[in-house]
Structure 1
Amino acid sequence: MKKRLRIIAAVVALTLPLSVPAASIDAQLERYATAARSAGSGFEGFVAARGEDFHTRRFSGGRPDTPSCAACHRDDPRQPGQTRTGKSIEPVALSVSPGRYADPEKIEKWFKRNCQEVLGRECSAQEKGDWLSYMRSR
């Protein structure tokens, strides 16, 4: 019986850290959904396929050397990326980097910086939610 309890405790301990990021993303997505509804844009939910399109689409409003998210984060977000200066970037897909989205302040910090560089503007709540939905699906 004790051995069985130790095994159960070990399994719970191993899976608990993996569930925290998913809960963090869920909370972040709910914040973006609230903001999108408030924007009066006819929000009907986030769509991972739109997030994938957003990730790979080339924009002209930002820096010429970062025309898309994929310019630094790769077309396949499960692969490591690279900054313009050559610094390695951990994969952005939740399946490969489960702790990446645990801190809402960091999520906002990087959206603010990267959206300015790629789009030349802040991302909308809809764009952020679609993109995070895509990262969760990968």
Structure 2
Amino acid sequence: MKRDMKPILAILIIVSGAMALPIASLAGDATAGATGWTKEYPQTDGSPARSCVTCHNRDLTKPGRHAVTNKTIEPLAPSVNPQRLTDQAKVEKWLLRNCRWTLGRECTPEEKSDFISYIETQ
């Protein structure tokens, strides 16, 4: 008996499409983002604990400084830096890099959404 594959294909398309939704489409919690922003994450290599504040500061309207390279990081707050959070590919790239470096793993979609919601309030 030949099986009709259309329902299975439709489900796969829906599921794969849902995984590709932009982070901005998730409803983030700015309070959770603020908590995660200042939380210190222990490092497995024995180096000091890190947080987002390590490089970006508590005040996102001010420039930050990379903890290793000492390179200046432009303010993250869209209120003073309107370019922030406007390029989805850049947001994804930097969240991937920074979550791995700070948390020691990739952030969950919820964590990303919470961080973005927090940054948007600044």
- Structure 1 Cα separation of the partners of residues 23 and 100 of structure 2: 20
TM-score, L = length of structure 1: 0.66
In the TM superposition, residue 96 of structure 1 has moved relative to its aligned partner by 1.4
In the TM superposition, residue 72 of structure 1 has moved relative to its aligned partner by 0.1
Q: 1:130 to 1:104 in 2, by over 3 A?
A: same
Unaligned runs of 5+ in 2: 1-21
Number of the residue aligned with 2:24 = 29
Number of the residue aligned with 1:56 = 38
Aligned residues: 99
Q: 2:55 aligns with which of 53, 68, 72?
A: 72
Q: Is the contact made by 2:42 and 2:49 (CA closer than 8 Å) also made in structure 1?
A: no
Q: Is the contact made by 1:66 and 1:117 (CA closer than 8 Å) also made in structure 2?
A: no
Q: Which moved more, 1:54-63 or 1:88-97?
A: 54-63
- Structure 2 Cα separation of the partners of residues 124 and 28 of structure 1: 10
Q: 1:129 to 1:62 in 2, by over 3 A?
A: farther
1:46 aligns with 2:41: no
Indicate the structure (1 or 2) with the bigger Cα radius of gyration: 2
In the TM superposition, residue 134 of structure 1 has moved relative to its aligned partner by 0.6
Q: Say which structure is richer in helix.
A: 1
Number of the residue aligned with 1:121 = 105
TM-score, L = length of structure 2: 0.74
Q: 1:56 to 1:117 in 2, by over 3 A?
A: same
Q: Is the contact made by 1:115 and 1:122 (CA closer than 8 Å) also made in structure 2?
A: yes
**Tell me, what secondary structure is at the counterpart of 2:83?**
coil
**Tell me, what secondary structure is at the counterpart of 1:78?**
coil
Aligned residues: CA RMSD: 1.7
- Structure 2 Cα separation of the partners of residues 89 and 135 of structure 1: 14
- Structure 2 Cα separation of the partners of residues 28 and 99 of structure 1: 17
Q: Is the contact made by 1:62 and 1:117 (CA closer than 8 Å) also made in structure 2?
A: no
